[in-house]
A = this chain, B = another copy of it.
Amino acid sequence: MSEGKTGLQLRSLIRKTGELEISLVTMQTPEPAPDEVVVRVEASPINPSDLGLLLGAADMATAKASGTKESPIITAHVPEAGLKAMAGRLDESMAVGNEGAGVVIKTGASDAAKALMDKTVAMIGGAMYTQYRCLKANECLPLPAGTTPAEGASCFVNPLTALGMTETMRREGHKALVHTAAASNLGQMLNKICLKDGIPLVNIVRSKEQADILHKIGAKHVVDSTAPSFLDDLTHLLVQTGATLAFDAIGGGKLAGQILTCMETAANKTAKVYSRYGSNVHKQVYIYGGLDPRPLELNRTFGMAWGVGGWLLFPFLMKLGPVEGRLLRERVIDELRTTFASHYTKVVSLQEALDPANIALYAKRATGEKFLINPHKGR
């Protein structure tokens, strides 16, 4: 069988000189080891979490296209300040793409590997913007018969992140959630989980259009941070739901601090004795994204019982352990066409992913805009 001997792979390189270069390279597909399989990748989403590696700190307003139609090259300037934060990856060509799905076309000699032959599988592990991916059999999640790679392409990052939020809530003793940038693909999944599991969820959005998206899928509590009554509206919903944990995709600016302040106001509405240190209720914001690159500003008008911190899926899964992790993955597969269905605005080939017009769209990280790469599109 000659299929899959070589294939194209998308690479992102930032040079010491301050230049980002995104290009396609032809790669020899490795021979699978006994416990490995080779997958023909047919679908891999461009998640916000992929953009950091793909575009680095480059200023995409300076992007230039060169190369050929079959082998396009994108270059862009990386500002001095951004270059510093990229120190660890300079002059190293990086493969991109956290997750994807495809069909197993070759296997190693082990039974576990052989059992996957011809199966459609979902994968996690990086380097998915590639035509053929060799990986361990146990890094593949076989999809139910009839599931397409496009349906299974986003099995991991968004579904497990959303489930990670409700799991974190339970483990840290909270009883309701706040979520920002809440009309995102991830936010919609979180709403479906919370509706199904009976968890009160306060959705913070930045426009009426986003509020409408959530109302349409049945969200109960939606508040618009651009409304003049935002802080009062939010406090009201926090009193109603008792939410003391927020997951924030914005990162910069005042929003995280405003959430903590409103949580504190809500907690004090039921307090009986004055405490100069504020309420004893622990209020937590986990930041899992950076849609706003400005510094995070906390005015600390929320007592002393508070925390703000980074939250990432993989360290959370490590903490959770393999048994609990498997239960979450099983739930994703069971509800792949309902709770965890992803919607894409555009399906592109590897070459089209390097089209400046497409980059301009997905680099915006706009709510509702979501690209899927099919490395075999048109082949």
Contact = CB atoms under 8 A, between A and B. Distances in A.
Interface of A: 52-53, 85, 87-89, 92, 94, 251-252, 257, 268, 271, 274-277, 280, 287-288, 290, 295-301, 303-312, 315
Nearest to A286: B307
A307 B305 CA distance: 13
A301 B271 contact: no
Given A307-B308, A312-B277, A290 B300 contact: yes
B89 A274 contact: yes
A52 B304 CA distance: 13
Contacts of A307: 307-310
A280 B318 CA distance: 12
A80 to B, nearest CB: 14
A296 B274 CA distance: 25
Q: In the A-B complex, list the 8 residue pairs whose CB atoms are closest, starting with the nearest.
A: A307-B309, A304-B310, A88-B274, A296-B298, A295-B299, A89-B274, A304-B312, A53-B276
A295 B295 CA distance: 11
Contacts of A304: 288, 310-312
B306 A309 contact: yes
Contact of A308 (B271, B275, B297, B308): B308
Given A89-B274, A315-B280, A315-B305, A300 B251 contact: yes
Contact of A295 (B271, B298, B311): B298
A228 to B, nearest CB: 18
Given A296-B297, A305-B312, A307-B308, 8 more contacts: A257-B295, A287-B300, A295-B297, A295-B300, A296-B300, A304-B311, A304-B312, A308-B309
A294 B92 CA distance: 41
A59 to B, nearest CB: 17
A83 to B, nearest CB: 13
A75 B288 CA distance: 47
Nearest to A54: B276
Given A88-B274, A309-B306, A297 B297 contact: yes
A306 B298 CA distance: 15
A295 B297 CA distance: 6
Given A307-B309, A315-B280, A88 B301 contact: no
Nearest to A284: B309
Contacts of A312: 277, 304-305
Contacts of A52: 276-277
A61 B252 CA distance: 35
22 contacts: A52-B276, A53-B276, A252-B300, A277-B312, A280-B315, A287-B300, A290-B300, A295-B297, A295-B298, A295-B299, A296-B297, A296-B298, A296-B300, A298-B308, A304-B310, A305-B310, A306-B309, A307-B307, A307-B308, A307-B309, A307-B310, A309-B309
